[in-house]
Amino acid sequence: MQKYMYDAIIFDCDGVLVDTERLTNEVFMSLLAEQGLHLSHMEMHTHFTGQTTEANLITAAGLLGRALPEDTHHRLRTGFWEAMHTGLKTVPYVEETLQAIHLPKAMATNALREDMDFKLNRTGLHAYFDHCFCVEDIENPKPAPDIYLHAASALEVAPERCVVVEDSTAGISAAVAAGMTVYAYSADMDAEQQKAAGAALCFHDMRELVHLLSRRP
């Protein structure tokens, strides 16, 4: 049996388990373009990935230099749900990877419970986790460490014995602040930014993760 360097593993959701960040960013990009703010996919990831919707609307207003229309939140949520119902997919090879990792598993996301449950149930990934936590389970969202500390407590594993799989700089910062080691999934993200946020290593193919867990970064 494979030996691991850690006693538990905690996964982020969007961009790590399910390929939703591109869907969300395309909806948000379209709404921002209507207001005259044109951003590339990489700029969208840099500014918005891993944050709550409320935080992203504040950031967007700051970039735009004025308040967004009052219906922006509603239109963003509506567009996001439409995109999820038609285009939701798992990250390539993530299910095989989850099957191959024989460690206690938790999932920790900044998403709302309704969103989390839909994604995990729709894709069938819920069954792979001992615990799943969302932004409604804690007081402070990522980049605060609350949700990762909460997950470690539920797993009954010390934070320093947990490894976290994240993609966003906000999520990486949260896990590092919790005292955990972070392996950053870099398929759609800037690996240098991930390392600057505190990731111990970066990888681009989910199939790599099984082998990475058996050696020190």
Q: Which domains does the chain have, with CATH numbers?
A: 8-19+89-212 (3.40.50.1000), 21-87 (1.10.150.240)
Residue-wise pLDDT for 112-167, tens only, equals 999 999 999 999 999 999 999 999 999 999 999 999 999 999 999 999 999 999 99
Residue-wise pLDDT for 178-190, tens only, equals 999 999 999 878 8
Distance CA 29, CA 8 (A): 36
Distance CA 188, CA 105 (A): 23
Residue-wise pLDDT for 57-86, tens only, equals 999 999 999 999 999 999 988 988 888 888
Residue-wise pLDDT for 88-121, tens only, equals 999 999 999 999 999 999 999 999 999 999 999 9
Lowest average pLDDT, out of 1-5, 28-32, 173-177, goes to: 1-5
Distance CA 196, CA 189 (A): 12
Global confidence as pTM: 0.84
* 103 and 138 Cβ atoms separated by less than 8 Å: no
User: Kind of pairing, strands 8-11 and 162-166?
Assistant: parallel
Q: Which residues of 176-198 are buried (b: 16+ CB within 10 A; e: fewer)?
A: bbbebbbbbbbebbeeebbbebb
Q: Edge-to-edge, what's the strand order for the sheet holding 131-133?
A: 131-133, 105-108, 8-11, 162-166, 181-185, 201-203
* 163 and 170 Cβ atoms separated by less than 8 Å: no
pLDDT of residue 80: 84
pLDDT of residue 24: 81
104 cis-preceded (ω within 30 degrees of 0): no
Residue 80 contacts by C-beta under 8 Å, 6 or more apart in sequence?
23, 24, 27
The amino acid that residue 125 corresponds to is L
